[in-house]
Structure 1
């Protein structure tokens, strides 16, 4: 770990070096990892209407990205159980830093910056001890790791920062993994997913578990509303039977609310929610399912079902100008509000799982 003196020296040095802002690179609204037709991988910047602003090479398949809150810099993470991430200058395409997981660790494909952009938090697996960890890195001094703390669970997937605060939330999926096993899920019978809240120093603020009958409903991805409402997408690893809920809503200090689609439409999701997002105005919440070929939408406050959009291999999901923006493995960027596509743009290549929204305060 770096010393505090080194950390402060890094802050001083970073203040002297001008860095490009997001406006300097065409003001993209989204970032997405993609596989190009030639078989190589890229990080793509997209506008709110689905146009490509930039395309930067990645060394391997990416999962999600973390976008710096002010400068045009993004961290692209390898898929679980990847052991690398790259920090990319989105103006020059230069790799500013490479993050390698420590011995006995791997990443989970997600990360989040502190509000001032000085720290990067990454979800990691200490697979020898079978415990989740959050790595803390100094974004002002080459992303050297300066701290870490446990996530209070196994298989932490996405980490996010509550809007306008210094509070972090982690979705602990409850599933063990190991680099030697690739993307094979391990120790399913012992699953115990939870949603955990922390201060940036790692103090535990709250841990919320699902009821025992849903212990195989893995909490994976997160969406945060401005007023503190957290939406989480799940993936079912239990027995066949009555379809399990794949969307949960939680506010600190309250009980979890679980939402399911009516009738047979819940089963059509095939037990898999790939991404989750609130609409731009926060009134609606949606989850996507690549195997189900659809995105489903609810009223975020009442929990009332709104409808679904059928779309082949849809997964990436974010707030958009018309409610939601989605990306697909067929190369489409789509705007929708409910059950109909409002606009779409076709791209060469295949988008990966996530569509990361850029904002002044992520």
Structure 2
């Protein structure tokens, strides 16, 4: 039976403000890193300063931030066996997600708009058929899964109440990541409805079926920019940036051939800020800036540059494997900070 004391305690709890990202200094970005032999997740402000650093059990890749609570989920590099739920106020691990038997995490995830559900990018280990794992976020219990619409899903973004999934098309060995189907791979973009059904799918033309679709960025109007990694002839440069508006075919955005060759067929990360799109290549040591129309504007050099995200005031923040964080625009790079660590592939913007 409820008591008056318990009732009043409940009212007091309801009156308390819910913890928010402001409680940890309002970080703007999350980024995985390696320092010595330690794997870490950092929360960064707009100028590249680290506000907190949390331990990870193994190499990290991307992360997902809860839309309102100071809670983040860090994902292992694919094929992954962990996702760590972290209370960013205390720096403590509050839960660890393990994929079901026969599944592997694939490096990315995203929360629903209300924060009640976490969606995780996954594959069936044998054959790399794509899955989207569903986890409720009060206790991070798995509540189901959906088909991703293809082989080897990687990045996912929330588009309203739907998900856009980059199905890379590559089947990999579950142990050593070796690629098993390069001759027959078929990447696609899949739009998944709120019930898990496939709403729409876009594929590349036949001659570009070896252009693996890996990472995504959205503009406020709902257009999708996608970054690719070319598995074909390295001497034959192909577009690594594409644009897709659901309901229309994808449009590829070629760079001038000499500039395209500098990317070495590999786009590692992508971000969309206003009228510009940034595409990075750690293998080429360059970042390309495109107009939102898809026209190439500039190529900027920086060894091992990969992570990129939008700055609140416009332009981009970029990270590199030597520990540098820089402002990035079509005018070049401006160094913001330097740390004794190696940033991993991605910067994840909060908000």
Same fold (TM over 0.5): yes
Give the corresponding residue for 1:338.
330
Give the corresponding residue for 1:9.
none
Q: Which runs of 5+ in 2 are unaligned?
A: 1-12
Pick aligned residue for 1:177 from 172, 175, 192: 172
**Structure (1 or 2) with the larger CA radius of gyration:** 2
Alpha-carbon deviations, 1:187-226, whole Å to 9, x = none?
A: 2112000000011320111100000000000000010111
Instruction: Report matched runs for 1:70-149 at 5 Å.
Output: 70-128=68-126, 130-140=128-138, 142-149=139-146
State the 1:239 CA deviation: 2.0
Instruction: Report matched runs for 1:1-362 at 5 Å.
Output: 20-36=19-35, 38-128=36-126, 130-140=128-138, 142-162=139-159, 165-180=160-175, 182-279=176-273, 282-301=274-293, 303-320=294-311, 321-359=313-351
Alignment RMSD = 1.6
Alpha-carbon deviations, 1:302-333, whole Å to 9, x = none?
A: x2221011111000011113411100000011
Q: TM-score, normalised by structure 1?
A: 0.90
Q: TM-score, normalised by structure 2?
A: 0.93
Give the corresponding residue for 2:4.
none
Q: Which runs of 5+ in 1 are unaligned?
A: 1-13
Other structure's SS at 1:213 match = helix
How far apart, CA to CA, are the structure 2 residues paired with 1:289 and 1:342? 18
How far apart, CA to CA, are the structure 1 residues paired with 2:16 and 2:296? 50
Q: Is the 8 A contact 2:109 2:119 kept in 1?
A: yes
How far apart, CA to CA, are the structure 1 residues paired with 2:114 and 2:201? 25
- Could you say if the C-alpha distance between residues 306 and 349 of structure 1 is closer, same or farther in structure 2, counting changes exceeding 3 Å? same
Other structure's SS at 2:149 match = coil
- Could you say if the C-alpha distance between residues 243 and 94 of structure 1 is closer, same or farther in structure 2, counting changes exceeding 3 Å? same
State the 1:20 CA deviation: 2.7
How far apart, CA to CA, are the structure 1 residues paired with 2:240 and 2:70? 34
How far apart, CA to CA, are the structure 1 residues paired with 2:321 and 2:169? 27
How far apart, CA to CA, are the structure 1 residues paired with 2:14 and 2:146? 28
State the 1:129 CA deviation: 5.0
State the 1:184 CA deviation: 2.1
- Could you say if the C-alpha distance between residues 204 and 346 of structure 1 is closer, same or farther in structure 2, counting changes exceeding 3 Å? same
How far apart, CA to CA, are the structure 1 residues paired with 2:295 and 2:108? 30
How far apart, CA to CA, are the structure 1 residues paired with 2:15 and 2:111? 21
How far apart, CA to CA, are the structure 2 residues paired with 1:268 and 1:153? 30
State the 1:50 CA deviation: 0.9
State the 1:15 CA deviation: 8.4
How far apart, CA to CA, are the structure 1 residues paired with 2:163 and 2:77? 21
Other structure's SS at 2:183 match = helix
Tell me the number of residue pairs that the alignment of Structure 1 and Structure 2 aligns. 338
